[in-house]
């Protein structure tokens, strides 16, 4: 599942970067969401896989705090990007004639930058106090399954939900692979 998540999201990023037809606000935000999903799962899944392999659940306090920090950072960034994507679709539907004027490249870049800045500043200011003062608790099997659902399954499904069902992305991926195959031959 981790491999599908990383490869699927990387394919979206490559398709958006390689096809000029996908250089629109919607796909710009989608590529950013894919980037965040890769790093979101990469903060927890490798350690989880190591724990499963070694049958050990040991983690140092510093590693735990770091992992929690980055997981929460990327989770909140995911939510903010989804909100920006919703705004993009709102403008496209409600103001179609003004869409390209409203959602210009400067605004799109600014919206993503703002997401990176209400997340980094929010957590540098508050996260350490909350997590450094909380006591560690035992997790039940049910909470572990729930954790896997939102840390692995959701980012794995995002490429399928948001883009691989999209004919423009499929066309871009096909063109990308044909071009790559031609360069390798």
The pLDDT tens digits of the residues spanning 66-109 come to 998 898 888 888 888 989 999 999 999 999 999 999 999 999 99
Q: Which of 8, 11, 34, 15 is nearest to 112 (CA)?
A: 34
Q: Which of 162, 172, 168, 175 is nearest to 29 (CA)?
A: 162
**Which residues form the domain of 147?**
2-184
| Average pLDDT of the residues in 38-45 | 90
Q: Say what the pLDDT of residue 138 is.
A: 45
Two tokens at 79?
A: 């939510």
| pLDDT band per the 50, 70, 90 thresholds, residue 149 | low
The pLDDT tens digits of the residues spanning 19-40 come to 898 899 999 999 999 999 999 8
| Average pLDDT of the residues in 30-58 | 89
- 120 or 13, greater pLDDT: 13
Two tokens at 99?
A: 């869409």
SS3 134: coil
Q: Which of 12, 32, 21, 18 is nearest to 116 (CA)?
A: 32
| Domains in the chain, number | 1
CB atoms within 10 A of CB 50: 11
Q: Say what the pLDDT of residue 159 is.
A: 76
In this structure, what CATH number is given to the domain that contains residue 158? 1.20.1070.10
């Amino acid at each position: 599942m981790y491999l599908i998540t990383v490869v699927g999201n990387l394919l979206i990023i490559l398709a958006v970067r390689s096809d000029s037809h996908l250089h629109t606000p919607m796909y710009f935000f989608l590529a950013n969401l894919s980037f965040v999903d890769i790093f979101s799962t990469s903060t927890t899944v490798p350690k989880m896989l190591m724990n499963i392999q070694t049958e050990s659940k040991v983690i140092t306090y510093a590693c735990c705090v770091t992992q929690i920090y980055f997981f929460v950072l990327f989770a909140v960034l995911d939510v903010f990007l989804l909100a920006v994507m919703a705004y993009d679709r709102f403008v496209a539907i409600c103001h179609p004639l003004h869409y390209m004027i409203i959602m210009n490249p400067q605004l799109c870049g600014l919206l993503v930058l703002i997401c990176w800045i209400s997340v980094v500043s929010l957590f540098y200011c508050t996260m350490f106090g909350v997590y450094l003062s909380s006591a560690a608790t035992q997790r039940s099997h049910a909470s572990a399954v729930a954790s896997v659902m939102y840390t692995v399954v959701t980012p794995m499904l995002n490429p399928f939900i948001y883009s691989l069902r999209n004919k423009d992305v499929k066309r871009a991926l096909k063109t990308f692979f044909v071009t790559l195959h031609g360069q390798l031959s």
